């Protein structure tokens, strides 16, 4: 499985496997009872109110996590590609009713792993120690991401949300940022409808606040 270069690249992107040599990756995955599953486009990996028995590492494709607000509008939290680990908090807390849903937006290959082996077992292994440390770091990073989402949604105006979000993305040498998803998903992520986002982006371009080129944007303020 890990001889596939694309899968190896995704595994290496995942924080959970930091400081584990390539020759020990198979042992680490075996330790966590790793198993691969194909997920078809638009299928749910976990639904609202559902249960996720194992965390998943996305090896190929793209997934999207979202929740519903008090008005039952779908709010997209994140959209991720290969190398993304999801479901850790649900599994660790043994959550029976997931507050979020995770859906495949492309055909996906997912490596499901049993995290309980890491934090709730008597297995004596140097790999387990490394995996435990990495899991803690991964959860801490996720907490920062969620904090960022809250900060975005706390902005009163859509313009403030757009500018704040763009400010969180890495810029290239010319000051451009690349939006990781399409305009519909971006609108959901910002907590508005697509038409409102398109109108506001148009106004911001007319007022020379930003330049937009497809999924690439550059602020001028």
221 residues of the chain, pLDDT tens digit each: 555 677 889 999 999 999 999 889 999 999 999 999 999 999 999 998 999 989 999 999 999 988 876 666 677 777 888 999 999 988 888 888 898 899 999 999 999 999 888 877 677 888 999 999 999 988 888 888 778 888 888 888 999 999 999 998 999 999 999 998 788 888 878 888 889 999 999 999 999 999 998 889 999 98
User: Do residues 90 and 78 lie in contact, with contact meaning Cβ atoms separated by under 8 Å?
Assistant: no
- Identify the CATH number of the domain defined by range 158-219: 1.10.10.10
Cα distances (angstroms) measured from residue 132 to each of 18, 119, 125, 214: 11, 6, 11, 41
| pLDDT of 116 | 85
Look at residues 6, 7, 28 and name the one whose alpha carbon lies nearest to residue 16. Answer: 28
| pLDDT of 3 | 54
| pLDDT of 2 | 57
| pLDDT of 69 | 66
| pLDDT of 94 | 84
Structural tokens at position 48:
């609202």
| pLDDT of 21 | 92
Structural tokens at position 164:
């704040």
User: Do residues 155 and 44 lie in contact, with contact meaning Cβ atoms separated by under 8 Å?
Assistant: no
Name the residue ranges covered by the structural domains of the chain.
Answer: 5-153, 158-219
| pLDDT of 89 | 86
Look at residues 172, 175, 170 and name the one whose alpha carbon lies nearest to residue 210. Answer: 175
Q: Is 205 strand, coil or helix? A: helix
Work out whether the CA dihedral 88, 50, 180, 187 comes out positive or negative: negative
* Partners of 212 in the β-ladder: 217
Separation CA 132–CA 20 (nearest Å): 12
| pLDDT of 40 | 97
- Which CATH fold topology does 5-153 show? Jelly Rolls (2.60.120)
């Amino acid at each position: 499985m890990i001889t596939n270069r694309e899968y190896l690249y995704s595994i290496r992107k995942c924080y959970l496997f930091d400081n584990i040599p390539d020759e020990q990756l198979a042992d680490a995955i075996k330790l966590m009872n790793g198993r691969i599953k194909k997920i078809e486009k638009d299928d749910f990996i976990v639904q609202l109110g559902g249960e996720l028995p194992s965390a998943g590492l996305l090896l190929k494709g793209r997934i999207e996590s979202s929740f519903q607000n008090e008005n039952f509008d779908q709010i997209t939290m994140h959209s991720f590609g290969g190398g993304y680990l999801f479901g850790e908090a649900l599994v660790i807390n043994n959550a029976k009713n997931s507050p979020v849903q995770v859906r495949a937006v492309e055909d996906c290959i997912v490596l499901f792993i049993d995290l309980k082996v890491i934090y709730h077992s008597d297995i004596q292994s140097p790999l387990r120690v490394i995996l435990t440390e990495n899991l803690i770091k991964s959860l801490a990073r996720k907490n920062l991401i969620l904090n960022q989402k809250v900060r975005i949604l706390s902005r009163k105006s859509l313009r403030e949300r757009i500018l704040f979000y763009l400010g969180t993305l890495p810029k290239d040498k010319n000051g451009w940022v690349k939006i990781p998803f399409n305009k519909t998903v971006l609108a959901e992520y910002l907590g508005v409808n697509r038409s409102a986002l398109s109108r506001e982006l148009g106004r911001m371009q007319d007022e020379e606040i930003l330049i937009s080129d497809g999924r690439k944007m550059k602020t001028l303020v």
